[in-house]
Structure 1
């Protein structure tokens, strides 16, 4: 990673995305997860949901994307964990945030969170975090 040193307390740039229906269906196709709760308005309404629910693994993928955008190709994710707090629905905007909690040699620990932003703001994923291996000078 180029730029400033990574130290405890360093804040990662936030990553924001609107997860729309097209992205949800594309993800379902890529993962073969065609559960109706992820694309069917009628099914969602029958189960008391305001709309199709974003597959939780999409949020994990966004956490990984935030890490990769921040570190670039000089690092690899060695572990990633996250806990769901509330569902995210089609068309909602989410923001991933994170900060460094430990640095030991080439290993960096980060703490992350995903929140829904807007009128129905809420925490969607927390706690979340990862361990990265910085591979400075190595592919």
Structure 2
């Protein structure tokens, strides 16, 4: 049975004013694969709680949360867009984010990919991330993420 990737609507961050075409942004894609499918629901709920504070996150352009609605339903994550890598690292270091990462440690496998790209619109960014999540493009080795 094929996988269906679902996502939330785009949520603006405080840097949401559309960057000029060609302005470099940082895209980060995360994927958390749970060991047990029922854990996916609680991971998703934790992501939605973080999404509430997203509009106050410095340097955040926007984000989507996503989930794989395949037969096992055990993958979910985010696609985030930032003005600079430092802002992404600031979000990762936030206490609420760290609390969630610690709470689910050992309950699944986390991987991420981060890249710089010229801003050509939300649709192009999402399609690029979707190719990675759908398996149409390989994930980069961990050392390159």
More strand by percentage = 1
More helix by percentage = 2
Which has the bigger relative contact order, CA under 8 A and spacing at least 6? Answer: 2
Query: Could you state the TM-score of these two structures normalised by the residue count of structure 2?
Result: 0.30
Q: Which has the larger radius of gyration?
A: 1
